[in-house]
């Protein structure tokens, strides 16, 4: 039994320290409020994924992650970091979110080192730059070596057109690089039956602390959601693509 998201779509992960606006960026890109947004650090714990299909452009799967380097609610810090690490390892492109108003922090520097080792392309998002007057605040993050940081405001939607162009440019490179592999796969699997049936959606609901996350992990045979004795550990609705025996 295994959980599987469609690997026909490139994967993009949003990572960063707590409270830099990752969930707000995620919601802007997917076009609807999926992830909970709050001023309190550490609200997002599980990985949250959604398909993005911009009209006339390359579609992708976007994943929001919990804040790395959390100091609050340390009972979950290790599990949140593990979830973020999985998202980073499986991503084709990383959106590295930082808070331009705070400048470069020690956690930002440590995370940049981790991302450099991973080798995936990285786009730096200098969030909370609400006006052009404060654009220079984003410049210092270019010192991380991932190219020019994009000054944007998730709260106001500023410069998301610039971000979309950068994402599409990187996805085009990824598609070119993987075209040969996909061609080989299609040749080897030419006799495979491709289902056109639409997937069904199953919701697991219940009062706090009855074991909903444990049930999800048991079905998937994977530690996909954080499990704890603390009531209310899961805060966001987590949508997980799942298939068994090719169905």
Whether residue 138 contacts residue 149, with contact meaning beta carbons closer than 8 Å, is answered with: yes
139 shares its domain with 50: yes
Domain assignment present for 246: no
34 shares its domain with 90: yes
204 shares its domain with 179: no
Counting the structural domains of the chain, the total is 2
Instruction: Round to whole Å and give the CA distance between 59 and 113.
Output: 29
158 shares its domain with 208: no
31 shares its domain with 146: yes
179 shares its domain with 216: no
Domain assignment present for 35: yes
Q: What is the dihedral of CA 240, 243, 244, 247, to 10 degrees?
A: 160
The owner of tokens 């009855």 is 210
102 shares its domain with 18: yes
Greatest CA separation found in the chain?
Answer: 58
Domain assignment present for 240: no
Residue 187 structure tokens: 């040749």
C-beta neighbour count of 6 within 10 angstroms: 12
pLDDT per position as a tens digit, 188-231 = 554 444 344 545 556 666 656 656 566 666 666 666 554 445 44
Instruction: Round to whole Å and give the CA distance between 30 and 201.
Output: 19
- Contacts for 220-229: CB closer than 8 Å, 24+ residues apart: 220/1, 220/2, 220/3, 221/1, 221/2, 221/3, 222/2, 222/3, 223/82, 224/3, 224/46, 224/47, 225/46, 226/45, 226/46, 226/76, 226/79, 226/80, 226/83, 228/75, 228/76, 228/79
H or E segment and range at residue 86? helix 77-90
Instruction: Round to whole Å and give the CA distance between 84 and 134.
Output: 30
**pLDDT of 13:** 95
pLDDT in tens, the chain (247 residues): 333 344 579 999 999 998 899 989 999 999 987 754 444 444 444 568 889 999 999 999 999 988 777 554 555 466 656 777 888 899 999 999 999 999 999 999 999 998 999 999 999 999 999 999 888 889 999 999 999 999 999 999 999 999 999 999 999 998 877 664 555 555 555 444 434 454 555 666 665 665 656 666 666 666 655 444 544 444 445 556 655 666 5
Domain assignment present for 37: yes
Nearest alpha-carbon partner for 18 in 39, 32, 46, 49: 39
Question: CB neighbours of 12 closer than 8 A, spacing ≥ 6?
Answer: 60, 61, 62, 63, 91, 92, 93, 94, 95, 167
Quote the domain boundaries for residue 123: 10-188
Domain assignment present for 124: yes
Instruction: Round to whole Å and give the CA distance between 150 and 169.
Output: 14
Domain assignment present for 178: yes
**pLDDT of 136:** 86
Residue 28 structure tokens: 């802007």
23 shares its domain with 139: yes
**pLDDT of 247:** 57
**pLDDT of 78:** 67
């Amino acid at each position: 039994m295994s959980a599987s998201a469609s690997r026909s779509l490139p994967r993009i992960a949003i990572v960063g320290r707590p409270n830099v606006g990752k969930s707000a960026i995620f919601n802007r890109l997917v076009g609807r409020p999926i992830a909970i947004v709050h001023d309190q650090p550490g609200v997002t714990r599980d990985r949250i994924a959604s398909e993005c299909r911009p009209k006339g452009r390359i579609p992708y799967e976007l994943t929001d992650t919990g804040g790395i380097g959390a100091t609050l609610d340390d009972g979950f810090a290790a599990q949140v970091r593990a979830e973020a690490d999985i998202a980073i390892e499986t991503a084709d492109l990383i959106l590295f979110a930082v808070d331009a108003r705070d400048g470069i922090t020690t956690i930002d520097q440590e995370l940049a080192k981790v991302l450099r080792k991973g080798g995936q392309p990285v786009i730096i998002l200098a969030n909370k730059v609400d006006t052009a007057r404060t654009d220079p605040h984003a410049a210092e993050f270019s010192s991380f070596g991932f190219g020019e940081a994009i000054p944007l405001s998730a709260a106001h939607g500023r410069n998301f057109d610039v971000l979309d162009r950068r994402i599409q440019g990187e996805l085009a490179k990824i598609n070119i690089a993987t075209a040969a592999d996909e061609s080989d796969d299609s040749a080897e699997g030419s006799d495979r039956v491709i289902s056109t049936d639409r997937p069904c959606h199953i919701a697991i609901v219940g009062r706090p602390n009855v074991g909903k996350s444990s049930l999800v992990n048991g079905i998937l045979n994977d530690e996909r959601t954080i499990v704890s004795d603390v009531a209310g550990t899961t805060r966001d609705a987590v949508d997980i693509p799942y298939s068994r025996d090719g169905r």
